[in-house]
Every structure is written in C-alpha cells, then in structure tokens.
Amino acid sequence: MAIGHCIIDFKRKKLLAHSRTTHLLSLSAGLLLPSFRLLAGLGVRLGVTSLLLCAGNALASGNTSYGVPTPPGPFLTPIPGTTLPLPRQVPGKEFSTILDLNAANSPTPGQSMFWDGLGGVSDAYNYSSTRGQLDALANADDALFAAVRANNTFLLLSMQGDLNRNSVFAISPTGTVSLWASNSTVWNPAPLDGTGTGPAAFDLDALEIWGPELIVDANRFSLEFDVLPDGTGSASVMHLDNSVQYTREDIAAAIGRPDLADRIDLDALMVKGDDLLFSIQPLDEFDGGEIWDWSGTGLASFLYFGERTWNTENNIKDYFWGYGFDISNDNIDALEAASVPGPLPIVGLGAAFGFSRRLRSRIKARVQT
C-alpha cells in the first residue's frame, strides 16, 4: 500500500522513523539561518520572524517531489508561544486545492496532498473519489485549538483567490499579519494548466498540520455544499468513515440562522472533540470572513483573536492591506495554528540527534493519546 494511502485513527498514529542520514540532512538545512534564530532568542521577534519566513520561502525552490532532494525539518513540537516556525519545521502538513488536483496535476475530486514546506508534494488521501470538492480539513484533536481560544499562538489563514500568490497568512496574538507560506513554499514549480503553458488555478482550499510525517492526520473533513461523498444528504463535518458529526442544520442553528440550512457551506475548520472553530462561504449578510467559536451546543460566538473580533464588521481586505498584502476578497477558506515557545537551539551534531529523538517522542506521545 502506498504511504499516501495509509490511514490510521488519530489515537493510534505512529511517527515514521527517519534514518540518521535523514536527520543529518534535515539538521544541515535547518541550521542555514543560525544568526536569525540567535536574534530571535534575544527578543527581536517580529523582525526576525519576517526574515526567517522570507528566507524559508526563498529556500522553497528546489524540491521536485516530497522531500526530494531536500528533506523537511528539523521538526518542532506544537506548543503555545511567541515564535512562528517555518513551514518546513512543522510535521504532517496536508492541503487541497480549489480544483482538488493531485500531485500529477490532474483534477481528482476529494484529493488531498502532503507538502514538505520546500515546494515538494505527494498524494495523501482521497475523501470523495467520485464527486465532491474537498472544502475543509482538520484533526479531531487539533494541536493548538485551545491556544487559539487563549490568543497564545499564531492563527493561520488561507484566503480564497490566492491563485499563484500567497497560500497561508499568519496572524500574531497582537494582530500583526505576515506571510507564512507562499504558493511556491507549498508547491513548486507551480502546476501547469491543461495546455502546459501556464499556471493552473492553484488556490489552497483546505489545510491540516502537526500530524505524523506522511501519514494522513486529517480525520475530520467537509465537502463543498456540505454533502456526503455521494452528493446527497446534509453533512458539514464528517469523520473518515463518512459518518456525520455535524449537519448543515446544526451549523445554521449555531450561527443563529436556521433558515440558511439548505444553502450553508462550511469551508474552514479546526476541531477539538465536539468544539469547532469554523468559517462559511459568503451567504446573505455573511462575507466569508467570519470565524465562529462553537462548543457543539447552543449558539456560536465570534472568535476574538489578535486584538479583534472575527465578525462581519472585520474588514479583512483593509486589515491585510495595512500590512502590505492585497487580497481579492474577505472569504477565509482554511484555518490552522502554529507556534513554538522559542527558536530551535544551536547544538552540535551529537546533541542534535538526541534532541531530535526527544522531539519525535513528544510528538508521538501527543498523537497516541
């Protein structure tokens, strides 16, 4: 069975073991920017984070497939904090595009992919092989869900219409906006259109991170129009076995508009048991930039994060423009979070092996509980 199709329950997930050679390559790649990390350790956080991200995006240009020729890493552990890791330092990254492309650039309904943070991708899992655009991905125990509620991490957003530009933005606890992953960081070179002469409609549409490497971690998902994989029924949030956790009627009631149940379309998602953070496609008075925080019963409230309330009055286009980012609309189509408590220590190779093993053990403990 291909690795990309290996599915396991999130309570029984196991990390793939890496050889010492892989760790050497990962460590060497990860230590290209020691001076930036040293500055971050001294407290120059916002400016250095920007430098790290720019450098990380610049490095995302050589991989032709997942981990080839440069493996991602060294991987960090998701912990609430004030430092934003590079995409390559975050394990278990999965995404889909708005046309559900596969790694061979063929439209494939329901397809997700792994990405290494250096431009390389490989196929992950197909959630709906016959029909249905994959609209949202999450894990049942999203690593930094509570930290988003506590305003103690970086909120990651993808906006609809990021064709061949910026795939994922990061919002700091103080509301600063930065670019976390450009299109080339996710998939480089950009896929070609049907004529082979130009870029395809590469618009990141769903995102899940912090899982084991090359093992499918997204065990909660939503399809376009909030239907079952056969195109029938009412299903806003589903499990891998296609059982329904929440219906359109549940989501419509949660936002106080039960009359919208026939038309509602959830398209961004984080999950913690029964609790959700979610956004919907633009509908009636909602512009798609709202993020609701819901316990699974009663009415949902708008998320407060980054010193702002994520309701309809929160004009995301103007907000992002204030940080130099020109987005085409306010519609959020992916949600996640990323942070670590501080920069990766500068260590010798011998110590690095032990440090890497300890990190791997800590991640393994999280995904097995």
Q: What is the pLDDT of residues 88-129, one digit of tens each?
A: 999 999 999 988 889 988 889 999 999 999 999 999 999 987
Q: How far apart are CA 133 and CA 190, in angstroms?
A: 20
pLDDT value of position 287? 97
Cβ atoms of 155 and 209 closer than 8 Å? no
Cβ atoms of 135 and 267 closer than 8 Å? yes
Cβ atoms of 288 and 160 closer than 8 Å? yes
Q: Could you tell me the mean pLDDT of each successive run of 10 residues in the chain, 369 residues long?
A: 35 32 35 33 36 43 82 96 96 93 89 96 90 91 98 97 83 98 86 55 89 97 93 94 97 98 97 98 97 98 98 97 94 97 51 42 44
Q: pTM of the entire structure?
A: 0.78
For the CA atoms of 97, 98, 102, 103, the dihedral, rounded to the nearest 10 degrees, stands at -40
Domain extent, residue 230, equals 3-367
Q: Based on the number of CB atoms within 10 Å of its own CB, is 351 exposed (0-12), middle (13-18) or buried (19 or more)? A: exposed
Question: Tokens 């394990």 map to which residue?
Answer: 91
Which residue from 143, 170, 166 is spatially nearest to 156, judged by alpha carbons? Answer: 170
CA angle 22, 26, 28 (to 5 degrees): 120
Structural domain count of the chain: 1
Cβ atoms of 162 and 327 closer than 8 Å? yes
Q: How far apart are CA 108 and CA 102, in angstroms?
A: 6
Question: What are the phi and psi torsion angles at 162 (to 5°)?
Answer: -85, 40
For the CA atoms of 328, 334, 337, 343, the dihedral, rounded to the nearest 10 degrees, stands at -60
pLDDT value of position 231? 85
Q: What burial letters (b/e) apply to 100-128, b meaning 16+ CB within 10 Å? A: bbbbebeebbbbbbbbbbbbbbbbbbbbb
Which residue from 67, 61, 59, 64 is spatially nearest to 31, judged by alpha carbons? Answer: 59
In order of 4, 238, 248, the CA distances from 122 in angstroms are 7, 23, 32
